[in-house]
């Protein structure tokens, strides 16, 4: 029985004024939107969030990149360069619980919407900012994107083959990784506001946020006294062979299975010996202990690979997993998309976008009361202008029409 996603009400009544763009900010507010907050994107009337057209979108059709980062939000367009437009945004800020931006350093202040100004109007406002580098960093004026944060934040230095160059991990940890940490701080500040009525300023730098995701590498360094290195598919902290990815048939680029025999559980190797059809190796002194296997790492791994090459990754995962040994097939995005169990569980949901059409995408993965939050379409540019001006500011239809005619809002 497929699980019905649920429109979550956790953050019902929480108002978020979202001036952010691309990914680091929008990933943060999308998480809050899935939790039930009212997220209002404030966009420029011309092209809106540059994420709409970036990565192969067009002015007529938002990119999938935009869709996937802006589900469940509203959009209003405002000309921020006009005095009237600025007033509209300040009036909205006065009604908001949270305001968030990730413009280039100094830009929000030049717009007259900096913390000093906005917090005077609304002392209960949680004012959240994402920059590439932190205030006080020698690079605080520099621009950053996801990959710059991954380079400068240590992530690339610990990713790649031991004898190869650094690589940038595929996940956009620099953007979405940062956005998740900011969401945690925003929600915590919101809990405090429920108690005290007070807002606060939150600032996060993408470079700094990367350190949070590589804490284990810092613990490895503390133990070894050396900078953490790169370990290919293996683990940085060193592990008990056999550990790593093993090739499977028919030998495509993602036909690999991860097998992890734990240092903490000597049974794993014994069980694996049976799975690969070599039960006699379980107690063979050449392989029986961690130390023995570590001395013959290549040999031990070839014993396992000799078996995995005769299996598909799915069979290998099933057979090794059923024996109680952690194992996982390397799955690609298409395999994950086509695996119906993700849709049945609500982990993948289909966004029905009025212009782009149906788009199957990953939803928020945490289940609340057994059900994941429901995905609704990302907003068309400015589609919620009248709705938000009326419900937040009490505008009449005529008020909205007047501002629209003057091209202050769209």
Give the residue, chosen from 94, 95, 203, 319, that forms a contact with a copy of itself under the rule CB under 8 A.
203
Binding to a copy of itself (CB under 8 A) within 245-284 occurs at 245, 253-254, 256-258, 260, 262-264
Report if residue 39 touches a copy of itself, rule: CB under 8 A.
no
- 11 binds a copy of itself per the rule CB under 8 A: yes
Are the beta carbons of 134 and 209 closer than 8 angstroms?
A: no
Q: How far apart are CA 179 and CA 27, in angstroms?
A: 6
Cβ partners under 8 Å of residue 209, min gap 6 = 149, 153, 174, 177, 178, 181
Residues belonging to the chain = 410
Please report how close the Cβ of residue 286 comes to a copy of itself at its closest, in angstroms.
Answer: 25
Triad 231, 233, 234: Cα angle to 5°:
60
Q: Does position 59 bind a copy of itself by CB under 8 A? A: no
CA nearest to 393, candidates 95, 98, 123: 95
Q: Between residues 22 and 395, which has the closer beta carbon with respect to a copy of itself? A: 22
Q: Which of 158-162's residues contact partners 24+ apart within 8 Å by CB, and which partners?
A: 158/214, 158/217, 158/228, 158/229, 158/230, 158/231, 158/236, 159/230, 160/230, 160/232, 161/230, 161/232, 162/229, 162/230, 162/231, 162/232
Contacting a copy of itself (CB under 8 A), which of 114, 145, 290, 312? 145
Number of residues that bind a copy of itself (CB under 8 A): 153
Q: Does 376 bind a copy of itself (CB under 8 A)?
A: no
Phi-psi category of 48—alpha, beta or left, where left has phi over 0 and alpha has psi -120 to 50? Answer: left
CB of 146 to a copy of itself, least distance (A): 8
Query: Does 306 sit near a copy of itself (CB under 8 A)?
Result: no
- Write the DSSP string, 99-166: EEE-PSTTHHHHTT-SHHHHHHH-TT-EEEEEESS-TTSTTTT----HHHHHHHTSTGGGSS-TTS--
| Residue 36 binds to a copy of itself (criterion: CB under 8 A) | yes
CA 350/CA 64 separation, integer angstroms: 12
Are residues 119 and 199 in contact, defined by beta-carbon separation less than 8 angstroms?
yes
The active-site residue out of 97, 175, 208, 255 is 175
Q: Which is nearer to a copy of itself, 71 or 403 (CB)?
A: 71
Rule CB under 8 A: choose which of 76, 78, 89, 210 binds a copy of itself: 210
Binding mask 151-180 for a copy of itself (x = CB under 8 A): xxxxxxxxxxx--xxxxxxxxxx--xx--x
When asked if residue 230 is in the footprint of a copy of itself (CB under 8 A), the reply is yes
Residue 12 found at the interface with a copy of itself (CB under 8 A): yes
CB of 393 to a copy of itself, least distance (A): 24
Closer to a copy of itself by CB, 221 or 312: give it: 221
Which of 121, 233, 294, 406: binder of a copy of itself (CB under 8 A)? 233
Taking the CA atoms of 386, 392, 396 and 400 in sequence, report the sign of the dihedral they define.
Answer: negative
Nearer of residues 92 and 347 to a copy of itself, judged by Cβ: 347
124 is an interface residue for a copy of itself by CB under 8 A: no
User: Cβ 255 to a copy of itself, closest distance in Å?
Assistant: 10
Q: Does residue 399 have an active-site annotation?
A: no
Q: Which of 61, 95, 249, 345 binds a copy of itself (CB under 8 A)?
A: 345
Inter-axis angle of helices 267-275 and 313-322, nearest 10: 130
DSSP letter (8 states) at residue 250: T
Out of 17, 39, 40, 68, the only residue in the binding site for a copy of itself (CB under 8 A) is 68
**Cβ at position 123, least distance to a copy of itself in Å:** 13
For residues 30 and 79, which CB has a smaller minimum distance to a copy of itself in the complex? 30
Instruction: Give the span between the Cα atoms of 75 and 380, in whole angstroms.
Output: 7
Q: Is 54 in the site for a copy of itself (CB under 8 A)?
A: yes
**Would you please indicate which residues are annotated as catalytic (active-site) residues?**
175
């Amino acid at each position: 029985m497929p699980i019905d996603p649920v429109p979550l009400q956790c953050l019902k009544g929480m108002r978020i004024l979202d001036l952010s763009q691309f990914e680091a900010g929008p990933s943060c507010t999308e998480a809050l939107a899935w939790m039930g907050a009212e997220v209002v994107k404030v966009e420029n009337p011309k092209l809106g969030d540059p994420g709409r057209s970036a990565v192969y979108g067009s002015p007529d059709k938002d990119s999938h990149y935009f869709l996937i980062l802006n589900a469940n939000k509203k959009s209003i367009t405002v000309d921020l360069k006009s005095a009237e437009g600025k007033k509209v945004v300040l009036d909205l800020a006065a009604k908001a619980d949270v305001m968030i931006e990730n413009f280039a350093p100094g830009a929000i202040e030049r717009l007259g919407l900096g913390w000093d100004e906005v917090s005077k109007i609304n002392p209960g406002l949680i004012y959240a900012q994402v920059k590439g580098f932190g205030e006080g960093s020698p690079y605080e004026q520099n621009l950053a994107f996801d990959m710059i944060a991954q380079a400068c934040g240590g992530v690339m230095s610990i990713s790649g083959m031991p004898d190869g160059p650094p690589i940038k991990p595929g996940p956009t940890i620099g953007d979405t990784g940062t956005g998740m940490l900011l969401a945690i701080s925003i929600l915590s500040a919101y809990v405090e506001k429920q108690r005290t009525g007070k807002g606060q300023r939150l600032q996060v730098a993408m470079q700094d946020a990367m350190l949070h995701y590589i804490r284990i590498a810092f613990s490895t360094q503390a133990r070894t006294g050396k900078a953490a290195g790169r370990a290919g598919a293996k683990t940085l902290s060193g592990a008990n062979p056999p550990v790593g990815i093993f090739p499977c048939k028919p030998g495509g680029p993602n036909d690999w299975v991860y097998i992890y025999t734990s240092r903490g559980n000597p049974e794993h190797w014994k069980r694996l010996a049976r799975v690969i059809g070599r039960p006699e190796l379980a107690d063979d002194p050449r392989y029986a202990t961690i130390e023995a296997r570590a001395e013959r790492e290549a040999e031990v791994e070839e014993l396992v690979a000799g078996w995995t090459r005769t299996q598909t990754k799915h069979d290998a995962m099933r057979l090794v997993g059923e024996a109680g040994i952690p194992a996982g097939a390397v799955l690609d995005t298409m395999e994950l998309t086509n695996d119906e169990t993700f849709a049945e569980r609500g982990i993948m949901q289909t966004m029905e976008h009025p212009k782009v059409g149906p788009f199957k995408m990953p939803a928020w993965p945490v289940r609340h009361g057994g059900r994941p939050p429901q995905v609704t379409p990302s907003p068309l540019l400015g589609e919620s202008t009248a709705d938000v001006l009326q419900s937040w500011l009490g505008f009449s239809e005529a008020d909205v029409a007047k501002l629209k005619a003057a091209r202050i809002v769209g």
